[in-house]
A and B are shown apart, each in its own frame.
Chain A
Amino acid sequence: MTTPLQRNGVTIDDSFAEAFAMKATRIVITAHSLQWARHAAVSATGFATSVIACGCEAGIERELGAHETPDGRPGIAVLLFAMSGKELARQVERRVGQCVLTCPTTAVFAGIDSGEALALGKNLRFFGDGWQIAKVIDAKRYWRVPVMDGEFVAQETTGMIKGVGGGNLLLLARDTDSALAAAQGAVAAMKLLRNVIMPFPGGVVRSGSKVGSKYASLGASTNDAFCPSLYGLVAHSELTPETRCVMEIVIDGLTEADVAAAMRVGIAAGVALGAAGGLLRISAGNYGGKLGPFHFHLHQLLES
């Protein structure tokens, strides 16, 4: 961090976000109404904030109109990311099985056609206890599983591709109100983009972490360098006395360009809020560039 830039009174650190390769997929959940599709999607993406303990990171990408879905009903596009294909398969099966299959009127379809095939309805079909029926329509295989409201239709597989997880922005603000306003504005701007999710609650995480801990059993612990409560206590703090609240936005995307685009609009939203709105600095989390292959330099994002 040598030459910070100033935009609308906000300092943009000469830093970068360090992101990792992940396995990713998209599923499309449709239902009789958008309300029921949303119920299923919210449930399926619950407890999926971080791969540290959730198994996967998942979120609602966007709502789909009836003209955008295979069955002509309203739907929700959901993105899921995991550290391995095996874990992603396990998470998709559990979440679709427990949260989509169970939700009234829903059906589930592949949201990605390319890549490696990942089981979607392939194993869930056995819930039909022998009454399930396969149907190939337009070269796509579906399973029709009898349930109490009719039948649950699930495409047999969805596509699994390489994604990028861990893009991030750190928003350093004057106080809690300012930090929340900056974070909410940035998340709102990012949500307009496709192919990305912000998996934490409301898209925002207040417990940014560093790798390692003084406790051997923990792989991650609080990011003390960005904790205002530890300013003046820890040996090295990234903060200044006027920074009293920091929020982080974590971004997972299907490609490096998608994550970069989301970070770019997030920075722009923060700059638009400006120092007058209480946002003091924008920074990013990294591990010195030694762990993740994707580096998103804030200044480069600002210039592009």
Chain B
Amino acid sequence: MPPIQHREDIMRWRQFLTPVTSISASKARNIMADQSPEAFNLVDVRQPGEYEAHHIPGAKLIPIAELDKRLDELDPAKPTLVY
């Protein structure tokens, strides 16, 4: 097993190398329309007040500051759409 520092470096590199796709709102809408709600993660990373004012139907609220601690609430195998 590599030393901790080395593992963290690998994680950082992986983060850079794993593509995060940017898609338009209309493409996002099409993706949602084509699949059942349980087939993807839809995550609202804004603050609770912003979510309450309005959010995409079915979105799960996980404020960005809590995201790393609440990853177990999401299925990594599913496509994940974030806004």
To the question of whether A and B form a pair in one complex, the answer is no
Residues of B within 8 A of A (CB): none
Residues of A within 8 A of B (CB): none
